[in-house]
Structure 1
Amino acid sequence: MLRLGIHRATPRLFSLSRSLRRNLHVDYESKYSEKLQKRAQESGKSLNEIRQENQEAERLRLKKWSEEREKRSREDEATAAFTKEASSKTSSSQPTLTQRRFSRKDNSPVKPLADILNLDRLFEKPHTPEQISSLWTAYHASRSKGTGRGFICASVPLEIYHKMAATGKKYPAFAVPLPRDAVQGNSGEAKRAYEFYFLQWGFHEAPPTPTSSDLFSKSLPDVSASNPQTSTVLLTPLQEYKSRTTFATPYLILTFYTDLASSHGLVLFRGEITPTAASAQNNAKSDFLLSQQDAQLLAMHLQRFYLWGGKEEGAKERYGLLEAFHNTPEEFKWEDLLKHAEPI
């Protein structure tokens, strides 16, 4: 199982991509034909025209977000031995070994793994998956001036990633609940409150694997298969998504980096919590739109609903909810979803 433990100095993180904008399902509400038909009648447009408008609005929203995020991701502090560093010894006219091995041809706005970890050093001598996992954790623990705030991370075995990704492609959207402090009802009783987050999968071009022409420089692990696609998951408050569709800001962005899948059987998972507008502009002490604990729980929800074992308690019901959300929305019950809202 994918384990995502939260530690004060051991955070986790993540990003976004262009094919995401092509592959994501339209707004959750497009699943509800009655609302679509009502909107079509009011506007005098066909259902296809309404769906196309929703798709275009979603495309523009994600484009705007990726552009803003690219501007913010210019900070790349060199804190650990294997973080990416600008080498003064390397001529700008000569591509580095990492650039030759891992340069991407796609236009994805997902930050390349080679911009986070120094893959040249990683391949200078053999590293086990466990060692790479430790480096990945140490890197994220060093973020935000050594506090690790704003990130979560984990290392995922390739087999587990394949299972999650297959489910994500089949069911690319969902809604998951976050427990909130109890509120007092009309009867005076305190009732548990929940905030729903809209979850969207996206799949992007697979990162390159080293080719035979690269091998003259340094030895690499034997690579007999290509890497799977990189994937991202956006998590946005459902109310915000419904009211600001095109302009809604994801509070948490999760990325699965598959660059080392074929060579080490490992996928690096990173979650990035969006900072508040004030902290992003002023470079002051960072405040975030989500707490570390909430980000951790959202990542756990992703695992619960997109990775289930046959005998795991509640697995069949969770799969049924995911399936109903997409295929039979009239049978989908929010009350059943709340049974799976609490931390394990």
Structure 2
Amino acid sequence: MAVLSRGYAVVAWNWGVLLQQRRNIMSSIFRAEKAIEDLQNNPYYEKYCRKITAFQNTSPGEFMTRLREHKEQNTTIKQAYGEEREFSSLLHPKEDIAKCHSPTFTKQKVLNDVMKMELVADKKCEEIKQIWEEYHKQKEVIAAAVPSIVYDTINLRSQQFPVFVFPLPRDRGYEFILCQFSGHEAHFTPLINYQAHKENAPECLTMTHYTDLKEKGLVLMRGEYNKDILNGTEAQCLANQLQLYYGQDNAKRLKLLERFTYTPQEFKHMDLIAELECLSL
């Protein structure tokens, strides 16, 4: 009887372990389904669902890890700042991302990589501007000739505020685009891509400022964009906002840069949208 009792005890214990394992599995499945459901509720999920699905299929473990980290981050921010900070927490960059600006480990691009320097070497500023704009007119890029004094301000502020976000008007509202400066380049990626891929997020726009002719009074800008994510008008909208925030002396916009960088708990994404709508009016 004693042996039989021990046998039953072993069987009962094994059955209990199996039940607990089943509960753990079902709980994991439920959490995964809930996390994916939350992701699908994102208004921009439809636009990037193919990339997200591909990432889920090729790296399911990493996919779930990223979802879990994202949920934990939101929970922490909510506890610290309340429900209103949930969206702003998504804008908060990695702790070390602001340090990536300097020094830059990529080779600085030179104007001769784009066009022959002899075309503009002996030209005046207005002529250079016309040549530069005409040169890019038939190309699927954005371009501009920025006065050196304006670019000095942009460059200085890019070192003070190396990461920022810009609202981009979409059919169903606004999509936020993360911008990070590195040397004389500005790199843009949709915020949802940064959430999924972090520092490996693919870029939607890269703006390069060529300083070869700075002594003549001009810095030439060329922006290459991903046509699967942006069109020319949207790329230009981001470039215009960059110049407004980084290249002009405006106390209100400067305050937004400072809040995002130094006091993110005071930063509200709706302030950016309100500023853009005022500009549109």
With normalisation by structure 2, the TM-score equals 0.61
* Residue 233 (str. 1) matches residue 186 (str. 2): yes
Distance 1:122 1:307, change over 3 A: closer
Question: Quick check: which has more Rg, 1 or 2?
Answer: 2
Q: Where do 1:114-153 residues align within 5 Å?
A: 114-123=112-121, 126-142=122-138, 148-149=139-140, 151-153=141-143
1:209 maps to none
Q: In structure 2, how many angstroms separate the alpha carbons of the residues matched to 1:107 and 1:117?
A: 24
Q: Distance in 2 between matches of 1:271 and 1:306?
A: 16
Deviation for aligned residue 1:247: 2.4
Instruction: Supply the distance in 2 between the matched residues of 1:304 and 1:55 (Cα, whole angstroms).
Output: 21
- Please name the residue that 2:268 is paired with: 333
Closer, same or farther: CA 168–51 of 1 in aligned 2, 3 Å: closer
Tell me what 2:199 maps to.
Answer: 246
Is the Cα–Cα contact under 8 Å of residues 208 and 221 in structure 2 kept in the other structure?
A: yes
Q: In the alignment, what sits opposite 1:156? A: 146
Tell me which residue corresponds to 2:233: 293
Answer yes or no: is 1:270 the counterpart of 2:250: no
Q: Offset at 1:115?
A: 2.1
Which position in structure 2 is the counterpart of 1:175? 165
Higher relative contact order (CA 8 A, sep 6+): 1
CA distance in 2, matches of 1:107, 1:301: 26
Write the deviation string for residues 261-292 of structure 1: whole angstroms up to 9, x where unpaired: 12x111001111124xxxxxxxxxxxx42011
Deviation track 1:226-263 (CA, whole Å, cap 9, x = no partner) reads xxxxx01011101111111132111000011000112x
**Over residues 167-205 of structure 1, what are the superposed CA-to-partner deviations in whole Å (9 max), with x where a residue is unaligned?**
1110110111011124xxxxxxxxxx11000011111xx
Deviations 1:88-124 (CA, angstroms, capped at 9, x unpaired): xxxxxxxxxxxxxxxxxx974454211222113433x
5+ residue gaps in structure 2? 1-72, 81-93
Given residue 170 of structure 2, which amino acid in structure 1 is its aligned partner? R
Q: Is the 8 A contact 2:162 2:180 kept in 1?
A: yes
- Asked if 1:303 is matched to 2:243, the reply is yes
Kept after mapping to 2: 8 A contact 1:176/1:341: no
Q: What residue in structure 1 maps to residue 176 of structure 2?
A: 196
Counterpart of 2:54?
Answer: none
> 4+ residue stretches of structure 1 with deviation over 6 A?
none
> Which residue of structure 1 lines up, in the alignment, with residue 50 of structure 2?
none
Looking at secondary structure, tell me which structure has more helix per residue.
Answer: 2
Alpha-carbon contact 2:150-2:248 (below 8 Å) kept: no
**Displacement, 1:329?**
0.7
- Over the matched positions of the two proteins, sequence identity in percent amounts to 33
Change (3 A) 1:122 1:304: closer
Residues 148-168 of structure 1, C-alpha deviations (whole Å, 9 max, x = no match): 32x000101110100111111
Structure 1, unmatched stretches of 5+, are 1-30, 39-49, 60-105, 143-147, 183-192, 204-230, 276-287, 310-314
Q: Tell me how many residue pairs correspond in the alignment.
A: 190
Alignment of 1:75-94 (within 5 A): none
Q: CA separation of 1:127/1:322 partners in 2, compared to 1, >3 Å: closer, same or farther?
A: same
Deviation of residue 51 (structure 1)?
5.1
| Counterpart residue type for residue 141 of structure 1 | K
Alignment-derived partner of residue 256 in structure 2: 321
Match of 2:64 in 1: none
Measure, in 1, the Cα distance between the counterparts of 2:126 and 2:261: 37
Q: Is the 8 A contact 1:179 1:341 kept in 2?
A: no
What is the TM-score when the length of structure 1 is the normalising length? 0.50
Q: What root-mean-square deviation, in Å, do the aligned CA atoms of Structure 1 and Structure 2 show?
A: 2.9
Counterpart secondary structure, 2:120: helix
**Partner-residue secondary structure (3-state), 2:276:** coil
- For 1:7-86, list aligned pairs within 5 A: none
Contact 1:152–1:271 (Cα < 8 Å) also in 2: yes
